[in-house]
Amino acid sequence: MILIISQNNEITTTEVIKELIAMGKKFHRVHEDEVFEIKVQQKRIVLQSARSIFFLDEITSVWYRRGGLVFKRLKYTHTAINLNMNETQHWLEDYVRKTLESRKHINKESNAHINKLLVLDKAKELGFDVPDYYLAENTCDVEIGNTVIKTINGNVMLEEIRKNKGGFMYTSVVDEHEEGDFFITFFQEKIEKDFEIRAFYLNGQCWSMAIFSQNDEQTKVDFRKYNKTRPNRNVPYILPPHIEGKIQQLMNCFDLNCGSLDFIKKGDQYYFLEINPIGQFLGMSHTCNYSLEQKIAEYL
Amino acid sequence: MKKLYKEKNKLPLTFKYIEIFKTKNVSKIHSSMVYSVPSEKYQTEYHVREKPLKQLTRLI
């Protein structure tokens, strides 16, 4: 039995499930708002929620996609008892989580969210070309027009920032000096790219796609500003073996066996940008005919 | 930036470059505009109603 930890409305999960069904593999899909109780039946641990029930020992592989396992914690009125029982419940939950993570898996909840800054430091250490980056609280030392800013956090979306309006923090070129100080911001050298590369990594293997985003004013700084009337041309791409080798080293450093990685190609150089362990890969899978959802289903 | 969003504390420069987009007004959405349906088979309440793109290999 395969355990899929994901979100209720996550499209990629459904696509992988279609493959699992075709292969005749059984699975349980856990949603982000599902709360589990840990129970015991005939010496076997059972996980039960409002919509599913399964034995811990029947799970043979786990795919951590998004969301997470949530457990119900009982509270007690006496402070000392509450503290004691809180710890007891913590270790039970820890046992369940670690047992699941010790099974065959694709990514783990415990390390699915990685620190962008640590990843860049490590990538540099491993010998990747990385555009110069630094943190600053003002624009005194910023080269205007030649520097981009990015979020330090992974979530770039702000819901309902104004009434009926959301906000998206794309990679942006700093076009003017800012008066005074601001909160610590991530700055990076802007590279005039030939094209972008998105690579999907799974257990030592890479599938890549070149994105020709540089000829369109809308997409040249951040290809996620999709031009729907005239989309970027995307083609399958093969990264040189030495880059694929470094990708594997980098992923191993963060104990990740699956994820999407972004690169910029300029001349002979491949500039590493970031790893997204829970990134979307369906677009690339369809465009390049890689059937990545099938590869995931096969592994599980 | 903090003045832009009426915050007391400082915000990163990324907030100055934020791109605003319109979100769907939930009150205006009616049943014919709901693009997903619950599906037991795929264990989700948000199964996409639209037809998936036909892959090139299936056309050949």
DSSP string, A72-127: -----SSHHHHHHHHHHHHHHHHHHHHHHHHSEEES-GGGSS--HHHHHHHHHHTT
From first to last of the 300 residues of chain A, give the pLDDT tens digit: 999 999 888 889 999 999 999 999 999 999 888 999 999 999 999 999 988 899 999 999 999 998 889 999 999 999 999 999 999 999 999 999 999 999 999 999 888 889 999 999 999 999 999 999 999 999 988 899 899 999 998 778 888 777 878 888 888 888 888 888 999 999 999 998 899 999 999 999 999 999 988 877 777 777 777 777 777 788 999 999 999 999 999 999 999 999 999 999 999 999 999 999 888 889 899 999 999 999 999 999
A244 inside domain? yes
SS3 for A216-244 is CCCCCCCCCCCCCCCCCEEEEECCCHHHH
> CA B2, CA A96: separation in Å to the nearest integer?
43
CB contact under 8 A, B17 and A185: no
Residue A137 and residue A203 in one domain: no
Closest CA to B44 of A49, A30, A60, A227: A30
Residues A80, A15, single domain; the answer is yes
**Does the beta-carbon distance from A13 to B44 stay under 8 Å?**
yes
A294 falls within a domain? no
Q: How close B8 gets to chain A, by Cα (Å)?
A: 12
Q: At what angle are helices A292-299 and A11-23 packed, to 10 degrees?
A: 60
Count the Cβ atoms, other than its own, within 10 Å of residue A122: 19
> What is the rounded distance in angstroms from the CA atom of residue A201 to the CA atom of residue A295?
11
- A86/chain B closest Cα distance in angstroms: 32
Shared-domain flag, residues A202 and A159: no
Which of A81, A111, A141 is at the close of a domain? A111
Counting the structural domains of chain A, the total is 3
Instruction: Write out chain B residues lying below 8 Å of A27, CB-based.
Output: 43
Ramachandran category for residue A94: left, alpha or beta (phi over 0 → left; psi -120 to 50 → alpha): alpha
For A92, the domain range is 2-111
ipTM value of the model? 0.78
- A61-64 and A104-106 as β-strands: parallel, antiparallel, unpaired? parallel
Torsional sign, CA A30, B48, B51, A167: negative
CA nearest neighbour of A96 among A153, A159, A30 = A30
Nearest to A14 among B16, B20, B42 (CB): B42
Report yes or no: A8 at the B interface, CB cutoff 8 Å.
Answer: yes
**CB pair distance less than 8 Å for B48 and A11:** yes
Question: B57 — contact with chain A (CB < 8 Å)?
Answer: yes
A192 vs B: CB within 8 A? no
Same domain? A78 vs A148: no
